[in-house]
Amino acid sequence: MTRIDTSVLYVDDVEDRLPDNCHVQAWRPKVEGIAEVFHAQLSDYSYPAHCHDTWTVLIVDQGAIRYDLDSRQCGALGEAVAILPPGVIHNGRRAPGAPGFKKRVLYLDESFLDLDMVGAAVDNTNIFDADLRRTLVGLHDSMLNGEDKLDGEWRLALIQDRLSCHLRRVNEQEREPERGVALQLRQLLDENVVHAVSLSEAASVLERSKAHLIRSFSATFGVSPHAYVVGRRIESARPMLLAGRPVAEVAAVTGFCDQAHFTRHFKRYTSVTPGLYATSHG
């Protein structure tokens, strides 16, 4: 991950150093569509009025935020998912009575949602959807853990689908899952287990939206496309380990980004680490 300086993220005259009781972490992930990930724990800091070129999607883990969006008084707290559209001026500060706030933010490319949804986003800046929030938490955790791009892509596609639904956009998200499309996607994934095909590529090949592919695949097989690929990689790794190949080598040839990720996933699927699995027969 490439860390970037966030001390002057919004305006030129912000002090070079945040207060000692404030912490900020920001980076640009490899997931297509995400311009920036921003995590912050702030107490007495207030953002001046500003706007972004991106869609802003934030969740609050602790405390509460008060902000004015397009001259409307708004707030965000733990149960809500807040969405702020591009080009709309807003500020931000701790809510009255709150000691501060801890938030996680995604800045999403302007093309993430159609710009004709800006008005609906201003009118519905707070969305209460437990599944959407859990998916956002999972995406943030995935990016912090350095999971592969496919994992982030399918989570982001689900987020896009849920947000579109809440903003009352009628499009392909209303199409029923298609078993035939799920079977085609499975074949495509099987042909690219090591160097996984991206959801964008699959959507282009199969002429369906990424969200529709995920819905169809999950409805047909009971797992996400990413989970399916991970399972296939684990199955490929097992005979290699039993044949005595080094763990690091097996991780590389089966498509895992490093040995640590391979070990974590392998243990989740088999209950033991790759090393113990390889020597379990004595």
Q: Tokens for 47, please give them.
A: 């953002």
Q: Are 118 and 51 in contact (CB under 8 A)?
A: no
Domain's final residue, options 114, 149, 184: 149
H runs (alpha helix) in 103-244: 118-123, 130-144, 149-166, 179-190, 199-206, 210-221, 225-242
Is residue 161 assigned to a domain?
A: no
Domain of residue 32, CATH code: 2.60.120.10
157, 184, 208, 219, 222 from 213: Cα distances, Å: 9, 10, 7, 10, 13
Considering the domain architecture, whether residues 271 and 214 belong to the same structural domain is answered as no
268 and 188 in a single domain? The answer is no
- 119 and 42 housed in the same domain: yes
Best CA proximity match to 106, nearest among 75, 84, 77: 84
Same domain, 131 and 30: yes
Q: Tokens representing 43?
A: 């107490």
Per-residue pLDDT, 247: 93
The C-alpha R_g of the chain, in whole angstroms, comes to: 21
Cα distance between residue 245 and residue 40, in whole Å:
43
State which residues form the domain around 218: 176-222
Q: Are residues 104 and 190 located together in one domain of the fold?
A: no
For the record, the structure tokens of 162 come out as 């849920």
Query: Which residues of the chain, if any, have pLDDT below 70?
Result: 1-21, 168-175, 282
* Predicted pLDDT at 8: 29
Domain count for the chain:
3
Cβ atoms of residues 178 and 216 within 8 Å:
yes
pLDDT at 14 (0 to 100): 36
- Distances in Å between the alpha carbon of 49 and those of 22, 87, 93, 132? 19, 12, 11, 28
CATH of the domain at 204: 1.10.10
Q: Which of 105, 131, 149 is the last residue of a domain?
A: 149
Look up tokens 């970037």; give the residue. Answer: 4
Write the pLDDT tens digit of every residue in 5-46: 333 233 333 344 545 567 888 999 989 899 999 999 988 888
Residue 209 resides in a domain: yes
Position 263 scores a pLDDT of 92
One domain, residues 18 and 119: yes
Residue 76 lies in a domain: yes
Q: Which long-range contacts (CB under 8 A, 24 or more apart) does 12-20 make?
A: 14/48, 18/42, 18/45, 19/43, 19/44, 19/45
What pLDDT score was predicted for residue 2? 32
Retrieve residue 107's tokens: 């800045």
pTM of the model: 0.70
* CB count in 10 Å sphere of residue 246: 14
Instruction: Say which CATH number the domain at 253 has.
Output: 1.10.10.60
Query: 156 lies in a domain?
Result: no
Q: How many CB atoms lie within 10 A of CB 194?
A: 13
Same domain, 7 and 114: yes
Joined together, the tokens standing for residue 187 give: 């074949």
Same domain, 17 and 57: yes
In this structure, are 112 and 245 located in the same domain?
A: no
On whether residue 14 sits in a domain, the answer given is yes
Q: How many helices (H) and strands (E) does the chain have?
A: 10, 11
Same domain flag for 269 and 248: yes
Residue 166 domain flag: no
Query: pLDDT at position 237, please?
Result: 92
53 and 129 both lie in a single domain: yes
Measured CA to CA in angstroms, residue 75 lies from 44, 117, 139, 226, 246 at distances of: 16, 20, 23, 34, 53
Length of the chain: 282
Asked if the structure places residue 25 within a domain, the reply is: yes
What pLDDT, on the 0 to 100 scale, is given for residue 61?
Answer: 93
Same domain, 55 and 87: yes
Residue with tokens 């209460």: 128
The answer to whether residue 182 sits within a structural domain is: yes
